[in-house]
Amino acid sequence: DLQLLAIGRPSGLECDVLLYDPMPGGSGLLEQLRDSWEAVVEEAILLLEGCVSACETACIDCLHTYRNRFYHEYLNRHAALTVLHEFKGPLEKQYDIPEVQPHTSTTTGRTATKLEEWFRRLLKAADLADPECQVDIRFRNGSGHTIPDFFYAGDDDDQGLCIYVDGMGDRIHGDPVQARKDEFLRAQLLGEGYEVLVVPSTDQDDRNAMVRVIKRVAKFLHGKDASRRLGEDLGWYDQALVGEKAGESTTEATIANQPMTEMGPVKSPDNPPLFPFEIIESPPVSNRFVTCVP
């Protein structure tokens, strides 16, 4: 599941090779590779030195695979051995690279972040405890990890409830490959005793669907009676919906009432400027323009 990207340098004599995990949240394979790097290198050296075909350059018994078929003529196991002996490690972590995901939205235009805000608003209106966010769950068999959007810890009989609020953009959960990976990770969770709740973006604007979701959370936290009460009286849902729309209307009305010029709202003591974007302080140079524009 790991991907390779080779980027040539201007000299034409060297290149940088990037090994990366394309899975949102990570599959855990990179961490395992880093922690076991020296053992991995030793196995690779044994494979190349002991090629059963004793080939002069490379063959299907050592380096040739279907994935690198376009580069077979350039592969050489003896050159690979030189590289492996030079870079035996160990590998050391230098810094994190911030995750940047495309925004997705529901049919009414809520972005992925707004989806999570809407879900938390419903939980609060239903008087349910605030969940933990972005908890890193490592699988016992060492096959990787997963990071649900929300998490409720369980008792002795239950590991906990993992909640995924899924956008359906082509590059996230709407992608068939990503969907299969999601299914695998969530099956792993079920096998280790966790409960899993998936809230697709297509359900975010469906009253009945969201009521069922909140009822299931209530059942996990407080039992069947609490779940039934939420289903019998939907005042909490209406409260959340009114609160959200009131917040949107206030913002829209404030923007509409701002005296405007070609450069934006007029600034005056009685009329502080209101912009459609969040204004933030300039980040450190190393992170500049990653999450904002000048």
Calculate the CA dihedral of residues 255, 259, 265, 269 and round it to 10 degrees: -100
CB neighbour list of residue 274: distance below 8 Å, 6 or more residues apart:
254, 255, 258, 265
List the pLDDT tens digit at each of the 294 positions of the chain. 788 888 988 888 888 888 888 776 667 788 888 889 999 999 999 999 999 999 999 999 999 998 888 989 999 999 999 999 998 888 887 877 776 655 444 444 444 567 788 888 899 999 999 888 878 888 877 667 888 888 999 876 678 999 988 754 444 444 667 777 788 888 888 888 899 998 887 787 888 989 999 999 999 999 999 999 999 988 898 888 876 655 544 444 443 444 444 444 444 445 555 556 666 666 666 666 666 666
Contacts of the segment 146-154: beta carbons below 8 A, 24+ positions apart: 146/25, 146/185, 146/186, 146/188, 146/189, 147/25, 147/26, 149/116, 150/116, 150/119, 150/120, 152/217, 152/220, 152/221, 154/194, 154/195, 154/220
- The enclosing H or E element of 3 equals strand 3-8
Question: Which amino acid, 59?
Answer: C
